[in-house]
Structure 1
Amino acid sequence: MSCKACGLRTLIRDDATENMICDSCGTVQDFANYQERTFNINGPTGVFISIGSSGCGSVLNYREKKIYEANNLIDDIVFKVGLTGGSKVSEIRDMISKVTDGEFGSSESRWFSIFVGACVYVVMRNGDKSLSIEEVSSVVGCDIHELGRMVVRVVEHLGMKLPGFDIVGSFERVVRSLSISDRVEGDVLERMRKQGIFLVQCAVKWFLTTGRRPLPVVVAVLALVAELNGVEGVKIEEVAREVHVAVSTCRLRYKELLEVIAKVAQEILPWGKDVNVKNAVKNAPFVIRYLEMKCMSKSGGEKKGLESTEFDLGEVVGEYFSKNVVEDSLECEDLRYFELEDAIGFDKTGIDEADKLQLSHECLSMVYDKFLMDGGCGRYMEESGKVLGRKRERELEIQATEWWNGKSELSKKLLLKQLLEKDIGFSVMPPSFVNGCTTIKKRRAKINAAKLRIDRIMNPWNTDSGSGKVCTVEGAHDRKRKRKSLVKDIDWEDFVIETLLLHQVKEEEIEKGYYNTLMDLHVFNSGTM
């Protein structure tokens, strides 16, 4: 090799810089010191690589630097989810090291961040800590389904079995994280916490959490107890945004909760026929009071319903109406039904003596109906024979301290086995099961209608037109109008059902609703080779 400057073959290698230099003119040759460099799991290998450094300004090799940056990422994620120090952080690191055989992963790769989040969720779930997968996914910055798949892989790799989700602990965590603690008194916040725990566990008994994500139920219960206690600023939208769940799902769970409360009120309250979802919040104090007293009563008695508890409905209703509806100028003689005086020897703490008053449900219902007719929710005032005012709505409000006792066991966190053994006086079928039965019933009706339409087309002479006489022009126009009205009620599902029926698909399979699969198998023949 000759020098690029003078052309002489007097090149020598400098021991200090390892560069090729011309001994005659002293020119440093370009690209004369190239050596192949390779990398392995322990870092770069090859010649001219200083062992013990992985770049400028570092004294760590590649593996040590990777583990160092991975630990920094773990500390950052753990800090964002609210864990600082302690045995949980060490347990998370040990789990990550066990799964990766001590190699950890690159902090710059996305999969490692998701993997760390999955390990955090598994450790917290095993420790019965209320950390939702939605919160972890928001910290990691990934989709909830992607994080869930990683959690499944970690659990299967370690051969673990996750315990049930602690929905009560999740509710308490959400209450503590709310920004209303500085605006609400401590006793009110504590009452909201106990009432929320009570309703959350009632929701578990009512199967509102079965097969559903738990956080929307938590948001719905929190919004309801805040409204019952007169706490402003706790809206479903705000709480849902804070716990990273869909607002529409939270509203749906709130509606389901009100529907169950309305059903309970319709069963136990004398004016239950007037209770619906719209006024369920106003009747919720009576329902919660009944459920609480029912839970505190001893089961196994011969009496049922209200008579099996120590729930003094007359006292509650009388105090409710007297404080909120009856004014000084209004003499409500109906309240005498609820004035339980000692003169007749009635003990307000028991229910056996209440039978002597013979206050049946029909009697209480008549009192309530008369109360409404007399203007209990707003009066007509007459002056000089003319109506000066119209019936106005009056807010029926009751203080939370008057209907909430907080001494039942459901106000505290119970194990699932203990919770299922409790009797709260009302049970319902799971909403998902009821919705499924309703959907199947609707599909059965669509199948029958589709069969009639097919039969009408294939056998036009067997219609319900009566005899085989020739129809008049007027009758033909009537059938056209009727046909147009029927066409308006037909949607895409009806056409799919008709197609499947024409291809001899069993009706039992159509009822299941897997239309795409059935169309592929029987119509498009995608399953044939």
Structure 2
Amino acid sequence: MDRSCFCKNCKKNTVIRDDDTDNLVCETCGLVQSIGDNLVQSFGGLSDFDGTYVRVGDDYTYKENKIYNAKNDIKEITDRFQFSSRKTIEVEQMIDEITEGEFGAGRWFSILVGACSYVVRRRDNLPLSMREVASVIACDYHELGRMVLRVVDFLDLKLPEFDIVSFFEFSMKHSPSFAQVSDEKKDEMVKQGTFLVQCLVKWFVTTGRQPNPIVAAIMVFVAELNQVKVQIEDIAKEVHAGVNTSRRRHGELLQILVKVGQPLPWGKNFTVKNIVNNAPLVLRYMELKSRVKPSDKSKNMNNFRSEFEEIICGCLSKEMEFTEDGSYIEDDLQYYNVEDRSVTLSESVTDLDKLKISQDCLSKIYTKFSNDSTSPEAMAEKEEEHPRKRRKELGLQSAQDWWRGNSELSEKLSLREVLEKNVGYNNLPPSFVANKIACQRRREKINAARFRIGETMGKPASSELKNGKEMPYGAKGGKLDWEDCIIEILLLHRVKEEEIEKGHYSTLLDLHVFDSVNASKMFTNAKRQRK
């Protein structure tokens, strides 16, 4: 008696062949199996042996098929994230615990696999952004975020903060745009980018913002700094970031570096257009400032002062004058030294007096110089081309040895260590500054709305409005917009101005204007009056 297949009744692999009756019988429940499903009996001729064909293969149930297909889907998705077999097993175990062994199929299951993969990576502090997961499984970014929150809440996990430094290093080393760069140069660029990333963390630029556009902006800036040609569209696509958002973050980085470079002697000439040319000196200044330790401030400040003076003297020895368009004017330092120049001129005059040159000799020299010189037009063209070449060579030369990599910010530090560092500039969080500006703008609109309401009702304006500018329309004297109308409605419903300043217009309208209880009473009274 050999086991051949599963029982159709109890679903157990206990079906055997009875030698006496030649039927298939289940040892567990005793059910005689149908022959047509599994067997084709009695084939062969008179001269051949009678035989029975038994179907080869397993007979899976619906649940077993579902689990098998689900594990294949998990393996396929995790392979796209380059997970090891151990990490894939962790994702399977997490899904098994969440679904209580049922697994699943369909679009929601793919989103669950992506969310669990993201949680496993975040739990191990490995670089994987939610944007990348959403693009791989082809789902909405916010839908994936909601699934991640549900997974974390169900498993009662506490994920660490997103490691933007590791994400930048991983993106920089695996970017196709930097494939032609040598490994040594790429390692140096990674350290420069790590320095900038942690500076942005200190300046709260990364607080409450998506990390992908910030990483894309820093990669583009580091490429510009090292004369590597890349496109911001390509970088944004590689790190799964929005192109417009990446451009905004790149502009913010340039604006902050302009502010950082103000203490330099020529820092007043820094603009967003020429800051890339001046960035080596600005970053060198930041690197020196970050090495100053509060414990021995006097000694460290002396070292900083001496090194900084060395940098300035090195620049002024070639006398690089930074202009508005990012160009340099190079000249000898002796030109700016009046005493040395006068001495040099006097010595040259005395030497010339000692020489006895005839008029014929001077005429021959002049004729030779005139023949060797080119036309004025050619001289003008050469003068236009030469400064560009000289500026380019000078820019490469000035940025050649600027990076030392001695700062601790070039290596990965904890958040507390980053905040304790001094890089020569302290910046308020951009969200805080934007909120302050928005509150001030709403306050102006509130004052303008109060002025319009008082003018309509014939009441005298308050002293604040009398002393200020007249605002007959909007806050700035322009046409009214939807925000002005909403603020006016809220003021007429006696909403506090402090609540209006916060800008939660929808909530305030629901509470004070479109109250469901008051609306139901109003409609009930209207029906009664009709009756």
**Please, what TM-score do these two structures have when normalized by structure 2?**
0.70
- Where 1:403 maps in the other structure, the secondary structure is coil
> For the residues of structure 1 that align with 2:159 and 2:270, how far apart are their CA atoms?
41
Q: SS at 1:190's partner residue?
A: helix
Query: Matched residues in 2 for 1:484 and 1:170: separation?
Result: 46
Alignment of 1:8-27 (within 5 A): none
Tell me the residue number matched to 1:120. 117
Quick check: 1:397 aligned with 2:385? no
Q: Which is greater in Rg?
A: 2
- 1:39-188 aligned within 5 A: 59-85=59-85, 87-106=86-105, 109-188=106-185
**1:102-139 C-alpha deviation (Å, 9 max, x unpaired):** 22223xx1111111111111111111100111111111
Alignment of 1:30-45 (within 5 A): none
Deviation of residue 182 (structure 1)?
Answer: 3.5
Q: Distance in 1 between matches of 2:166 and 2:288?
A: 24
Structure 2 residue identity aligned to 1:149: R
- Farther-moved stretch of structure 1 (96-105 vs 206-215): 96-105
Whole-Å separation in 1 of the counterparts to 2:128 and 2:275? 31
Q: Which residue of 2 aligns with 1:318?
A: 316
Residue 56 of structure 1: CA displacement?
11
**In structure 2, what residue type is equivalent to 1:415?**
S
Tell me the secondary structure at the aligned position of residue 210 of structure 1: coil
The reply to whether residue 239 of structure 1 matches residue 235 of structure 2 is yes
C-alpha distance 484-161 of structure 1, shift in aligned 2 (>3 A): closer
Counterpart in the other structure of 1:248 = 244
Residue 303 of structure 1 deviates from its aligned partner by 8.6
How many residues end up aligned between the 2 structures? 415
CA positional deviation for 1:90: 2.0
One-letter identity of the residue aligned with 1:72: N
- CA shift for structure 1 position 402: 1.8
Query: Contact between 2:121 and 2:128, CA under 8 Å: does it hold in 1?
Result: yes
Q: 1:499 to 1:422 in 2, by over 3 A?
A: same
Tell me how far 1:142 sits from its aligned partner. Answer: 0.8
Deviations 1:362-420, CA, capped at 9 Å, x for gaps = xxxxxxxxxxxxxxxxxxxxx9xxx9989988567245432111122111111223222
Measured at CA, do residues 46 and 223 of structure 1 come closer, stay the same or move farther in structure 2, by a change above 3 Å? farther
Distance in 1, Cα, partners of 2:474 & 2:104 = 66
Quote the Cα distance in structure 2 between the aligned partners of 1:297 and 1:305.
Answer: 6
- The answer on 1:446 being equivalent to 2:439 is no
Aligned to 1:473: none
Assess if the C-alpha contact under 8 Å between 1:456 and 1:463 holds in 2.
no
Partner Cα separation in structure 2 for residue 456 and residue 305 of structure 1 = 62
SS at match of 1:501: helix
Q: Secondary structure at the match of 1:488?
A: coil
Please state which structure has a larger fraction of its residues in helix.
2
User: What percentage of aligned pairs have identical amino acids?
Assistant: 46
SS of the residue corresponding to residue 129 of structure 1 reads coil
* Worse-superposed segment, 396-405 or 202-211: 396-405
Q: Secondary structure at the match of 1:163?
A: coil
Q: How does 1:466-505 map to 2 (within 5 A)?
A: 488-505=478-495
Aligned to 2:288: 293
Partner of 1:198: 195
Q: Which residue of 1 aligns with 2:271?
A: 276
CA contact (8 A) 1:83 1:89 kept: yes
Partner AA of 2:267 in structure 1: G
Which deviates more from structure 2 when the two are superposed, residues 278-287 or residues 395-404? Answer: 395-404
Partner residue, 2:27: none
Secondary structure of 2:401's aligned partner: helix
Hey, what does 1:360 align to over in structure 2?
none
In structure 1, C-alpha distance between the alignment counterparts of 2:59 and 2:137, rounded to whole Å: 30
CA gap of 1:334–1:90, structure 2 versus 1, over 3 A, is: farther
Partner of 1:35: none
Mean Cα deviation higher: 420-429 or 140-149: 420-429
Q: Deviations over 1:284-318 (max 9, x none)?
A: 21221011111223334249989855323423422
User: Which residue number corresponds to residue 423 of structure 1?
Assistant: 422
Q: Provide the residue aligned with 2:7 in structure 1.
A: none
1:373 corresponds to: none
- d(CA) in 1 for partners of 2:35, 2:116: 37
* C-alpha distance in structure 2 between counterparts of 1:147 and 1:313, whole Å: 50
The partner residue of 2:227 within 230, 252, 261 is: 230
Structure 1 length as normaliser, TM-score?
A: 0.70
The 3 A distance-change label for structure 1 pair 68 and 230 is same
Shift of 1:525: 2.7
CA contact (8 A) 1:209 1:217 kept: yes
Shift of 1:186: 2.4
Q: Deviations over 1:330-360 (max 9, x none)?
A: 54436669x9xxxxxxxxxxxxxxxxxxxxx
- Specify whether residues 123 and 401 from structure 1 end up closer, same or farther in structure 2 by C-alpha distance, changes over 3 A only: same
Q: Unpaired segments of 5 or more residues in structure 1? A: 1-44, 340-382, 465-478
Distance 1:158 1:50, change over 3 A: farther
**Would you say the 8 A contact 2:194–2:412 is kept in 1?**
yes
Report Cα offsets for 1:246-295 as digits up to 9, x if no partner: 112111211221121111112x2122222232332222212210111112
Q: 1:390 to 1:69 in 2, by over 3 A?
A: closer
Measure, in 2, the Cα distance between the counterparts of 1:305 and 1:205: 21
> How many angstroms does 1:190 deviate by?
1.6
Tell me the distance in 2 between the aligned counterparts of 1:491 and 1:200: 40
- 2:212 maps to what in 1? 215
Contact 2:70 2:104 in 1 (8 A): yes
Partners in 2 of 1:49 and 1:303 — Cα distance?
Answer: 95
- Please give the per-residue CA displacement for 1:5-27, whole angstroms capped at 9, x wherever unaligned: xxxxxxxxxxxxxxxxxxxxxxx
RMSD of aligned Cα (Å): 3.7
Q: Is the 8 A contact 2:134 2:141 kept in 1?
A: yes
